[in-house]
Amino acid sequence: MNTLNNKDLVTGFYKRVLAQGDLAYAKKIIKEEYIQHSPNIKNGRSGVLAMLQHMAQLPKPKKPPKPFYRYICEGDMVAVHLGIDFMGQKRAVVDLFRIEDGQLAEHWDASEILPEPNTNPTPPVAGPTRIENVKMGGHNKMIVQEFTDKLVTQKEFDKSKIMNNMLEHTPFCNSSVSYFTTVKFEKVHRIIAEGNYVLTQAFAKVDTKAYAVFDIYRLEQSKIVEHWSVRQEIPEQMAHDNGMF
C-alpha cells in the first residue's frame, strides 16, 4: 500500500471511526491484534472499540469546532498532528500509526492540554501543512537525525547557532533555544519524513519527570525553519504492557 492509500486509511479512521463512531468500519480497518501504546487505552482492536463506546456516552457540543490536521507519511508510518477541543479543553495531539496489510496495526500518541494564555504567542498547532519537495524527504530526515543525535549526546552545545531563525510553536516556551534547553532528550525512538516535514518521537525528561515527546520540523533549503512539539508525561501505570514507545 502506498503513502496516499495509507493516508486515506488514517483519514477514514478519524472521519468514520472517531467522528461518527462507525464500529463496523473500525472492525474492518483495525487489526484484531492492534498494538496499542496510548497509555489509557487497552491493547488490541477490542481496546479501541471499548474506547469508542465510552466516547459515545460523553456529552457532545452542539457545534464542535473542526479539528486541525497535519499529516506526515513515510512508508508504512502515518503521523497526524492535531489541534482539538475535547471535554472543554484545547489539546495538541500527535497520533502515529503503523499500517500492515491495509489495516491499522500499531499506534503511538501524545496529548497535551494547551495552557491559556500561552507563554508563546505563536499558535501552538496551526501553521503551514502543505507537503513540498517530496524528493528531499530523505535529505531532510538526515539533517534532523544529525540535529537530534547532537541533542542526545552533546547536551551543552551552542543551540543558538541553529535556532535563532526557527519559528517556535511550543506553548510553554517563547523560543526554540528555551525549548531545547528545557527538554532533555535521552533517546530518539522513531523518525519519519515526508518532503519538507520531519517528525521525531523521543524519550525525554523535563526536570525529573519522564515524557514521550513528538517534535515536528519544517525545513527550507536544508535548514530547520519551524518547530512544533507535543509532550505527555509517562504514567507509572498503563492499560497495557506495551509502554509508550
166 band by pLDDT with thresholds 50, 70 and 90: confident
Is residue 128 within 8 A of residue 195, CB to CB? The reply is no
Does the pLDDT value for residue 7 go beyond 80? Answer: yes
156 to 181, 188, 200: CA distances (angstroms): 9, 17, 20
| Percentage of residues of the chain with pLDDT beyond 90 | 73
- Encode pLDDT of 193-207 as tens digits: 999 999 999 999 999
Does the pLDDT value for residue 2 go beyond 80? Answer: no
- Encode pLDDT of 55-92 as tens digits: 888 777 677 778 899 999 999 999 999 999 877 789 99
C-alpha cell, 143 = 539533517
Q: How far apart are CA 128 and CA 125, in angstroms?
A: 10
The pLDDT value recorded for residue 86 is: 78
94 and 151 inside one domain:
no
Task: Identify the domain boundary among 113, 143, 173.
Answer: 113
Domain assignment present for residue 121? The answer is no
Task: Identify the domain boundary among 53, 78, 113.
Answer: 113
79 and 144 inside one domain:
no
The pLDDT value recorded for residue 63 is: 73
100 and 10 inside one domain:
yes
14 and 50 inside one domain:
yes
Domain assignment present for residue 238? The answer is no
Domain assignment present for residue 67? The answer is yes
Q: How far apart are CA 85 and CA 22, in angstroms?
A: 20
Which residues are CB-contacts of 121 (< 8 A; sequence separation ≥ 6)?
Answer: 174
Q: Is 66 exposed, middle or buried (0-12, 13-18, 19+ CB in 10 A)?
A: exposed
Does the pLDDT value for residue 13 go beyond 80? Answer: yes
Which pTM does this prediction carry? Answer: 0.94
Domain assignment present for residue 167? The answer is yes
- Residue of 19, 6, 110 whose CA lies nearest to 60: 19
17 and 109 inside one domain:
yes
Q: Label residues 158-192 b or e (16+ Cβ within 10 Å = b).
A: ebeebbeebebbbbbbebbbbbbeebebeebeebb
Question: Which strands, in side-by-side order, build the sheet including 209-220?
Answer: 167-168, 223-233, 209-220, 197-206, 184-194
52 and 150 inside one domain:
no
Please give the tally of structural domains in the chain: 2
CATH of the domain at 36: 3.10.450.50
Domain assignment present for residue 244? The answer is no
160 band by pLDDT with thresholds 50, 70 and 90: low
User: How is residue 154 annotated by DSSP?
Assistant: -
Average pLDDT over every residue of 120-137? 94
Q: Please state, rounded to an integer, the average pLDDT across all residues of the chain.
A: 91
Domain assignment present for residue 124? The answer is no
Average pLDDT over every residue of 167-178? 88
- Look at residue 175 and give its three-state secondary structure: coil
Range of the domain at 39: 3-113
Domain assignment present for residue 123? The answer is no
> How many other CB atoms are there within 10 angstroms of residue 235's CB atom?
11
Domain assignment present for residue 90? The answer is yes
